[in-house]
Chains A and B, each alone.
Chain A
Amino acid sequence: MSPLSGSAMARHAVEAAWTSYGRLLAILASRTSDIAAAEDALSEAFATALKTWPERGVPDNPAAWLLTAARRNVLHRLRHQEVQRGAVDALLLRVDERSDPEGWSTLDERLALLFVCAHPAIDEGIRTPLMLQTVLGLDAQRIGSAFLVAPATMGQRLVRAKAKIKADGLRFEVPDASELAVRLEDVLRSVYVAYGAGWDDLDDGRGLSEEALFLGRTLLTLLPEEPEVKGLLALMLFCEARRGARLDAQGRFVPLAEQDPGRWSSPLIIEAEVLLSEAARALRFGRFQCEAAIQSVHAQRGITGVTQHHALRTLYDLLLIHVPSMGVAVARAAALLEAGDLQGGQHALDALTAEDAHRYQPYWVTRARLYELRGAPSEQRAALRRALGLTEDPAVRSFLTDKLLALGPEA
């Protein structure tokens, strides 16, 4: 074998091992609460692998090799620090060396890593980025771009969050049953935020949404009995099923009500429906099952040809109790309008006087719809203009522009 193909093979093996990143990091960090040190040790191990595997060949169990190397790096550092706490950790790590990275405890540790990232002591805005970096190994540049934050700023925030985990000695553990439901919602919400941040990635198809789906599936493996985990995965799959139908052949935005159900992915919808009905059997309703149920009603149009607006209305009433947020309030107002309840829809919109609502693009789109249904073109024009000024997505931008132009010039 030529050295070149050997090194190509080794590089391929290192890349393949990258999929174990979150698993390995979880094992390393769970003992010391020091994510940053574990990351450094793991990166060093990957760097060593890139150097030595081409010469000495790829080990039989690359993940185990990387874990052992990373542990040695951690121990090396701890010896240098010579702090008492370090000595304890070093002992624990040595005990750890006997555990197998493929073993059941790994799953638990990875779950513990997700829980520590979504810990109440960690600022809510950094939970999802922290998860993306520690569990999936994404870099600050990529995470910053997804969340519209300068990469340097994102890097600093991640460092601060990790320092807090270390300083506060946050425990890497899966909370017990009494606390699980509350803490799990934080974890699920962070995963859903990641999915939403990737919603606009249309070009490469390997955006954050896919990573979020991966996290959702991982969670389901770790907590197969939790109905809300199934609810979240079902919700993401319903949305994913419609991804391709959001744009027409010319790349223009198509609103849900006008989408061709023939372009929705049936396998994804079926998978989502199965998950949702399994979740319902646990008789523990929650926010994500509710949102998934809303998507299920929309998906049923593919079979029945009609949208059950009254079912949607009931579900949105429920959702608003679970999630009293502006996004849900606006979505509920839109559902009322589509169900023909103009009075109720207007009332729901008028109730939102917060300054934030006025900077919220869907609020103005929904207002425009209200005026359209009322037959008030000049108010509709003004609302569309406000919506246009708050729009980022180019496809939505041209959709709104077309609507404005179709309204004709001001009277």
Chain B
Amino acid sequence: MQFMILLNESSAELAKRSDPQQAPVYWGGWNAFIGAMTQAGIIVKGDGLEDPSLAATLRIRGGKRSVQDGPYADTKEALGGYFVIEVPDLDAALEWAAKAPCVHDGSVEVRPVLRMPAPPA
């Protein structure tokens, strides 16, 4: 089964990316986590995401466009990256999610990937 793991990082965690003191530990942790998943051969795809301040959110309401700086909601946690993994079940996906560096200060959401029913012939 495929699951998407959504890696929500706290703003304190995200700030470590550009802090010369903390960056080596920050990236070291992520490299190790991604390395372990790679070695296990479970990654289908995945990416890290740039800082949420670089995001723009678009809505069209009643034909009127509205573009807003930043992510959808201004919360303490923001999406920092995602992976789609191939594992037997939700238990196994949760087990990997527990090893993500952001789980202690942020959170990890685990969602089954929707399998579209085959189109009618």
Interface residues of chain A, those whose CB is within 8 Å of chain B, are 148-150, 153, 358-359, 385-386, 388-392, 394, 397, 401, 404-405
Interface of A is mostly: helix
In the assembled complex, which residues on chain B have CB atoms less than 8 Å from the CB atom of A401? 25, 28-29
Instruction: State A390–B24 Cα separation when bound (angstroms).
Output: 18
Chain B, residue nearest A152 (CB): B90
A389 and B34 in contact, given A148-B91, A405-B24 (Cβ under 8 angstroms): yes
Interface residues of chain B, those whose CB is within 8 Å of chain A, are 24-25, 28-29, 31-37, 39-40, 90-91, 94-95, 98-99, 101, 103-104
Instruction: State A153–B31 Cα separation when bound (angstroms).
Output: 31
A389 and B90 in contact, given A401-B25, A405-B25 (Cβ under 8 angstroms): no
Instruction: State A359–B24 Cα separation when bound (angstroms).
Output: 24
Least CB distance from A146 to B in Å reads 12
Contact B34 A150, beta carbon cutoff 8 Å: no
Least CB distance from B54 to A in Å reads 28
Work out how many contacts link A and B, with CB atoms closer than 8 A. Answer: 52
21 CB < 8 A contacts A-B: A148-B91, A148-B95, A148-B98, A149-B90, A149-B91, A150-B90, A358-B40, A385-B32, A386-B36, A388-B29, A389-B32, A389-B35, A389-B37, A389-B99, A391-B99, A392-B98, A392-B99, A392-B103, A394-B104, A401-B28, A405-B25
Instruction: State A394–B29 Cα separation when bound (angstroms).
Output: 11
Chain B, residue nearest A144 (CB): B94
Chain B, residue nearest A390 (CB): B36
Contact A388 B32, beta carbon cutoff 8 Å: yes
Least CB distance from B45 to A in Å reads 18
Q: Give the 8 A-B CB pairs with smallest separation, nearest first.
A: A389-B36, A389-B32, A388-B32, A392-B98, A394-B104, A389-B33, A385-B32, A148-B94
Counting chain A CB atoms within 10 Å of each CB, which of B31, B32, B37, B99 scores highest?
B32
Instruction: State A319–B103 Cα separation when bound (angstroms).
Output: 35
Q: A149-B91, A153-B90, A405-B28 are in contact. List 11 more A-B contacts (CB 8 A).
A: A148-B94, A148-B95, A149-B94, A385-B31, A386-B32, A389-B36, A389-B99, A394-B104, A397-B29, A401-B29, A405-B25
